[in-house]
Amino acid sequence: MSGSFDAVVVGAGFAGVAAATSLAEEGARVLVLETRQRPGGRATSWVDPATGEVEDNGQHVLASFYAETLRLLRRLGTEEALTADRTFHLRLWERGRGSFQLRCPDLPAPFHWVAAVGTCDRLSARSRLRALDLPRQVRALFERNGDGSRFTVESWLREIGGTEDLAAVLRPIALASLNETPREGSAGLFARVLDRVFQAPARASGLALPRRGLTDLLHGFEGFLAARGGEVRYRTTVLGVRVEAGRAAGLSLLGGARIDSGCVVLAVPHDRAGWMLEPEHFGAYHGITRAPWSPIVSTLNVYDRPILPSRFVGLLGTRTQWALDRGQAATGGYRVGTVRSAAFEDEDRPADSILDETTRELAEAFPEAREARLLRARVYKERHATMRSLPELQPLRPPAETPARGLFLAGDWTATGLPPTIEGAVLSGHRAAALASAVLGTAAR
């Protein structure tokens, strides 16, 4: 039974939390059902009982232009849990070449990008001209090709006459933002990311990291709902959504219980949604439920001293792609997170071999790491990190509205126009909530 609840949200990842809190803000009493014991889904953290250390399930980078995410954090009062660079500043190190950077000064858009390109000494004069033309090329891609679904990142860069050194700078950004190889990743999705960097005012272009752990970003979520007549039930697994006579009717739970509700937001990953709904409830989009996943492998190395020259460093020519300064460890030492996106070759590799390689590569890139003592290190493998960002999957991403009245979809895999990210997840949750709110009439309360 749904008792006194107006709406039920399934899943307490960023999409579900965004949907539930947005609905509650509009006056709805919301019940959230989550199979795990904490919120955050694929972006979560916990306290390791042995060390007292906050551990993320993998390194996550956010950005000041994550407008929907910032809206969610303001709602929950957790903006302080995120720490952002003042403006976009990417330091990169390339095997055989050394360091260079892309740094946007505090100038109005698009001059911040012009200045960043102008001062990037990895780029030849010809490549700088090409880079300055990128904002126009991004717009042209949207106009000519809708979501750009035909092109991969590599084929688009070739099409616009991109030089090899411009591609060398853009590839790691594409790989990280799509969790997909540039050879296979959707140019349309990458163009959306670039467009955001180009459009954002310099002061809203900086990259951001959780100060402590990812779950701090959602701190107070349960209290927020409870104060508005809602409830979060963890360790509660939904098996199926019931639809009767074309309308949402409720949910069936593991263990046999049923919950009745005429307003359901399904905020679970794409494959889970495929188990819970009949194909006809996806309309033309059912194919998405079989979309493949892309893995991410992260490590956390703890050294006896700081080793990084800045908070974010991209690594080119090595298997380790990013190194992130995660600050001091509670038990002593300095934490360095590393990331390997689209880590198809590493997902089945033994953890020790990944750690040896990562430690060697960090020592190669950062002189301080050669002197430093490695206190401990750990590998995190997320095989199902994000749905693959392939061009052919983009037209299959469904909107929030389904053919069943009162049933809405949310999640990073839905048609947000963004790569599968926290920002995409939160945007989808807000969209689903706006539609559900209209059905409930809560917006008018």
Ligand X SMILES: Cc1cc2nc3c(=O)[nH]c(=O)nc-3n(C[C@H](O)[C@H](O)[C@H](O)COP(=O)(O)OP(=O)(O)OC[C@H]3O[C@@H](n4cnc5c(N)ncnc54)[C@H](O)[C@@H]3O)c2cc1C
Please give the residue ranges that form the binding site for ligand X (CB under 6 A). 10-16, 33-36, 41-43, 57-58, 60-62, 237-238, 267-269, 272, 296, 298, 382, 385-386, 411-412, 420-423, 425
Minimal distance, residue 196 CB to ligand X, in Å:
12
Minimal distance, residue 107 CB to ligand X, in Å:
26
* Closer residue to ligand X, CB minimum distance, 131 or 218: 218
* Closer residue to ligand X, CB minimum distance, 76 or 166: 76
Dist CA 313 CA 355 (whole Å): 18
- The closest alpha carbon to 266, from 240, 289, 247, 246, belongs to 240
Minimal distance, residue 267 CB to ligand X, in Å:
6
**Would you give the distance in Å from CA 166 to the centre of its chain?**
25
**Would you give the distance in Å from CA 302 to the centre of its chain?**
24
* Closer residue to ligand X, CB minimum distance, 62 or 166: 62
Minimal distance, residue 398 CB to ligand X, in Å:
13
Minimal distance, residue 289 CB to ligand X, in Å:
13
Residue 283 in tokens: 């309309």
* Closer residue to ligand X, CB minimum distance, 26 or 382: 382
- The closest alpha carbon to 436, from 12, 29, 34, belongs to 29
Angle at which helix 67-76 crosses helix 422-440, to 10 degrees, equals 70
Cβ contacts of 403 within 8 Å, gap of 6 or more:
246, 280, 281, 283
Whether the CB-CB separation of 44 and 56 falls below 8 Å is answered with yes
Minimal distance, residue 410 CB to ligand X, in Å:
7
Q: One-letter amino acid identity for 151?
A: F
**Would you give the distance in Å from CA 165 to the centre of its chain?**
27
Cβ contacts of 245 within 8 Å, gap of 6 or more:
none
Q: Side-chain half-sphere of 122: how many Cα atoms within 13 Å?
A: 26
Minimal distance, residue 445 CB to ligand X, in Å:
26
Minimal distance, residue 235 CB to ligand X, in Å:
9
* Closer residue to ligand X, CB minimum distance, 43 or 134: 43
Minimal distance, residue 195 CB to ligand X, in Å:
16
Q: Side-chain half-sphere of 411: how many Cα atoms within 13 Å?
A: 26
* Closer residue to ligand X, CB minimum distance, 59 or 101: 59
**In the block, residue with structure tokens 């009162």:** 406
* Closer residue to ligand X, CB minimum distance, 118 or 292: 292
* Closer residue to ligand X, CB minimum distance, 202 or 300: 300
* Closer residue to ligand X, CB minimum distance, 2 or 127: 2
Whether the CB-CB separation of 10 and 238 falls below 8 Å is answered with yes
Go through 369-403 and write b for each residue having 16 or more CB atoms within 10 A of its CB, e for each that does not. beebebeebebbbbeebbbbbbbebbebbbbbbbe
Cβ contacts of 359 within 8 Å, gap of 6 or more:
301, 369, 374, 377
* Closer residue to ligand X, CB minimum distance, 6 or 56: 56
Whether the CB-CB separation of 262 and 247 falls below 8 Å is answered with yes
Minimal distance, residue 68 CB to ligand X, in Å:
11
